[in-house]
Structure formats: C-alpha cells, structure tokens
C-alpha cells in the first residue's frame, strides 16, 4: 500500500511539473484546467446554478498540500505527510462542489459576516436596530442566511504559495449595514503553515467577525473519532453560555473544570463529565478566552497514530473549540463516513454575542477602518 501510494505521489509530482508547462490534462478524476503562477487549478465541478467552480492546489517543498475553492472560499484539503511518510488529509470535506452545496456543517467554510451567535438575532448600532435571521433558536448563527460558504468568491490573486478570494458584500447583506469588500488569502508556507488572512474595509459602520470552520482529524479524515487525540488551549478562562449557547457574560476560570486544556490532554478525557457547560453544549462547543494579545500560539492538537501535531496561531481574543457534536452520518471525501466527534474545529473569533456585551472586544468596525486578522494552522511530525 505504502509503495503504491509513493508511486501515486511521484506520478503526481511528474504531472505537477508537466502542468507548469502545459495546459489541459486529467489525473484520475481531477480535471486540470491550467497551472497559474505555479499553482494547480482544477475544476471543482459545476454548481446547481450551472456555475463552474475551481480548486486551487498549493504545494510546498515538504510534501504538504493545501487546496482551496472559490466556492465559498473553502479550505478543501490539508495534506500532511505523517511519521511513516504516508500523506494524510487532515480536514473533513467533500470531493467536489456538489458536496459543499448540499452540506450544512460548514466543512472548511469561510464564515461571515459574523461567525458564531448574535443573541435574539438583532443588534443596535448608531441608534438603529438591525434585524438578522433567527436560524439557531431565536438567535443568528454564522451569518443567519445566504451564508458566505455557499457563494462564489472572485479569485483576485494567484501566486505560487497563495490565493486571494474576494467577496463584495452589499449594504443590507444578511441584514448587516454597509458595503464591504472582504478578502481572504490562503498561503501555504515552507514552514508548513496554512495562513488565513482576512482584510476588509467597510463603507459604513458595521460588524465583522470572520472565521474558518475547518474540521480537523489529525489521524486523517475518515479515520473515526478524535476523542483520543490531544488538545491544548492557552486559555485560563472560557465564556459561560446558556442553553442556546449565548454567553451569559461571565468569564469562568478553567481551573479544576473539564474546560481546562492548559496541558495537552485527550479530547475525550472529560467530555462526558457531569459539568453544566458540557451538558448544554453536548460536548465541547464553547468560546475560550485566549491568554495574551497579538499574534501568539493559542492551541495545539496531536495524533499519536500519525505523529502529526498542529499548532494554532491567531491575533484574535477568542476561539471556539467545537468537537463535531452535531455530525450525524455525513458522507464525505472518497465515501468516508463522518460521525459525531470525528473532528474538532478551532474557530478563532471575537467572543460570541460580543455586540451585546460591553466587556467583550469587537466586532464593530467603523467606516473606513481596516479589519485585518490572521489565523495560522501549523503542522509538524
Ligand atoms: C459552531 C457552533 C456549533 C455548530 C457548528 C456548526 O461551531 O458553535 O454550535 O453550530 O458551528 O454545526
């Protein structure tokens, strides 16, 4: 099996080299349209509205691959060679755009304008009340409607290690005020980092809180539960939430609770503990108050089976660790079956419902101000 895999990989390398010189060829089911500035561009299928979508495959010298699509500015693959040299795709997802159009779990999604929840799906800004869509109990979740991850993004820039997608979000989009152009740049570095950089300058005061909703399984997508994989979160506290996952405003120390991830521990170690937050969230689905400010390491994950470790870096104050509690038998890449807790998400963010809590930072961005934030997932073996 290892041999065959290596053969496939070296064939891939040859085709990759060819693709830089030529134009159209196909490799198994992947139709390569072109190689632009060293990046492989392939068809990702046609949407139900007849729109052609593309997959951009970035590759580094260490055998890592990150593939992203203009459909939803979605992170589709992160391939990492494991301790035995076998390449593992460590994010859940689908084979083509049809899967992403039908999927409701936000696999690899770029989420906006405001990721996570806004209580009662409304907010006040400059004396005016804005009504959003109630798509999660009475609250708004991940934009509420017409989600960014179901839209076609313009491909603005393609270079040998990055792709920039652009979305024009208009005044009133999802109920939010102000036109805003949102740019998301995915970069794969030679340091084995997948960097996600968001930049937006709204024309009017508005709210912005973008995140990436990738589901990580460092033993490879489709390998089953992540409960035995270890996680660390550099946070002394988390935001307590009610039964609808809206923060109560309390900042609760993690010390002595199952929410304490300051030392690496298996995700499953205390997930079934008799603890209010875990009952209400059906497992981990909470915002941690990340220690420190500025760009810093905020979390890590490790699989003993593959030897793969991931570190998470961000400049944002919060992060949702979500343990895939709501996945119910989802068919993904190559027919893989994903079930409850087969992955974990590390959604960096302003705290949920921050617009209603004076002591939570963000997410108001004033007209002409630059919203600029970066989250990095870095891999080691
Ligand atoms: C976020 C939320 C979860 C859930 C997932 C998507 O992580 O916090 O409650 O909605 O998105 O299924």
Ligand 1 within 6 A of 141 CB? yes
Taking residues 298-317, what's their average pLDDT?
98
Mutate to test the pocket of ligand 1, among 114, 139, 142 (most ligand atoms within 8 A of CB): 142
User: Ligand 1: which atom is nearest the Cα of residue 136?
Assistant: 10
Q: What are phi and psi of 277, to 5 degrees?
A: -60, -40
* pLDDT tens per residue across span 5-45: 333 334 445 544 544 433 333 333 344 556 666 789 999 99
Q: How much of the chain exceeds pLDDT 70, in percent?
A: 90
Asked if 43 contacts 54 with a C-beta cutoff of 8 angstroms, the reply is yes
Average pLDDT along the chain: 92
Expressed in angstroms and rounded, the spacing between residue 33 Cα and the centre of ligand 1 is 35
* pLDDT tens per residue across span 103-124: 999 999 999 999 999 999 999 9
User: What does DSSP assign to residue 16?
Assistant: H
Asked if 258 contacts 297 with a C-beta cutoff of 8 angstroms, the reply is no
Q: In which residue are the tokens 């299928």 written?
A: 45
Expressed in angstroms and rounded, the spacing between residue 322 Cα and the centre of ligand 1 is 7
Asked if 112 contacts 143 with a C-beta cutoff of 8 angstroms, the reply is yes
Expressed in angstroms and rounded, the spacing between residue 34 Cα and the centre of ligand 1 is 36
pLDDT score of 160 = 86
* pLDDT tens per residue across span 146-166: 999 999 999 999 998 999 999
Q: Whose Cα sits closest to atom 8 in ligand 1?
A: 285
More confident residue, 280 or 32: 280
CATH topology of domain 211-380: Beta-galactosidase; Chain A, domain 5 (2.70.98)
* Identical topology for domains 2-115+142-166 and 211-380: yes
Among 119, 192, 222, CA closest to 377: 192
In this structure, the strands spanning 309-314 and 371-380 are antiparallel
How far from 125 is each of 12, 77, 352, 362, CA to CA, in Å? 52, 38, 17, 13
Residue 287: Cβ-neighbour burial (10 angstroms; 0-12, 13-18, 19+): buried
Asked if 207 contacts 363 with a C-beta cutoff of 8 angstroms, the reply is yes
pLDDT at 91 over 50: yes
Ligand 1 within 6 A of 380 CB? no
Taking residues 57-80, what's their average pLDDT?
98
Omega before residue 363 within 30° of 0, cis: yes
Q: Which tokens is 12 given?
A: 């891939």
* pLDDT tens per residue across span 164-218: 999 999 999 999 999 999 999 999 999 999 999 999 999 999 999 999 999 999 9
More confident residue, 375 or 32: 375
Asked if 365 contacts 202 with a C-beta cutoff of 8 angstroms, the reply is yes
Q: pTM for the whole thing?
A: 0.92
Q: Which residues are catalytic?
A: 213, 347
Instruction: Return all residues near 139 (Cβ < 8 A) that are at least 6 apart.
Output: 117, 118, 119, 120, 121, 244, 245, 246
Among 138, 218, 123, 139, CA closest to 176: 123
Domains of the chain, residue spans: 2-115+142-166, 211-380
CATH topology of domain 2-115+142-166: Beta-galactosidase; Chain A, domain 5 (2.70.98)
Taking residues 234-240, what's their average pLDDT?
98
CA distance 133 to 272: 32
CA distance 321 to 309: 16
Asked if 134 contacts 121 with a C-beta cutoff of 8 angstroms, the reply is yes
pLDDT score of 37 = 63
Give the confidence band of 362 by pLDDT, cuts at 50, 70, 90. Answer: confident
User: Ligand 1: which atom is nearest the Cα of residue 104?
Assistant: 12
């Amino acid at each position: 099996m290892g041999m065959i895999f290596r053969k496939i990989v070296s064939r891939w390398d040859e085709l990759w080299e060819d693709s830089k010189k030529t134009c159209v060829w196909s490799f198994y089911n992947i139709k390569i349209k072109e190689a632009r500035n060293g990046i492989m561009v392939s068809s990702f299928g046609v949407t139900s509205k007849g729109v052609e979508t593309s997959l951009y495959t970035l590759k580094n010298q260490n055998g890592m691959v990150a593939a992203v699509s203009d459909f939803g500015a979605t992170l589709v693959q992160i391939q990492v060679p494991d301790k035995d040299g076998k390449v593992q795709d460590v994010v859940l997802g689908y084979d083509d755009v049809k899967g992403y159009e039908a999927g409701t779990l936000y696999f690899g999604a770029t989420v906006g304008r405001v990721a996570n929840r806004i209580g009662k799906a409304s907010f006040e800004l400059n004396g005016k009340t804005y009504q959003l869509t109630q798509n999660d109990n009475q609250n708004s979740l991940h934009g509420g409607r017409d989600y960014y991850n179901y839209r076609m993004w313009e491909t603005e820039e393609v270079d040998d290690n990055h792709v920039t997608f652009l979305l024009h979000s208009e005044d009133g989009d999802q109920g939010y005020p102000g036109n805003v152009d949102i740019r998301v740049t995915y970069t794969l570095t030679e340091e084995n980092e997948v960097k996600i950089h968001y930049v937006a300058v709204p024309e009017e005061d508005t709210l912005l809180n973008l995140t990436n909703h990738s589901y990580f399984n460092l033993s490879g997508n489709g390998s089953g539960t992540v409960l035995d994989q270890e996680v660390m979160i550099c946070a002394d506290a988390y935001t307590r939430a009610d039964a609808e996952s809206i923060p109560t405003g309390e900042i609760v120390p993690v010390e002595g609770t199952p929410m304490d991830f300051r030392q690496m521990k298996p995700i499953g170690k205390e997930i079934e503990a008799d603890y209010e937050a875990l009952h209400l969230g059906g497992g981990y689905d909470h915002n941690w108050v990340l220690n420190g400010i500025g760009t810093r390491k905020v979390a890590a994950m490790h699989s003993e089976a593959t030897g793969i470790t991931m570190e998470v870096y961000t400049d944002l104050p919060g992060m949702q660790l979500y343990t895939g509690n709501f996945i119910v038998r989802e068919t993904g890449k190559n027919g893989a079956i994903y079930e409850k807790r087969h992955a974990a998400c590390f959604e960096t963010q302003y705290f949920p419902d921050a617009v209603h809590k004076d002591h939570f930072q963000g997410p108001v961005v004033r007209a002409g101000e630059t919203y600029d934030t970066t989250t990095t997932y870095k891999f080691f073996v």
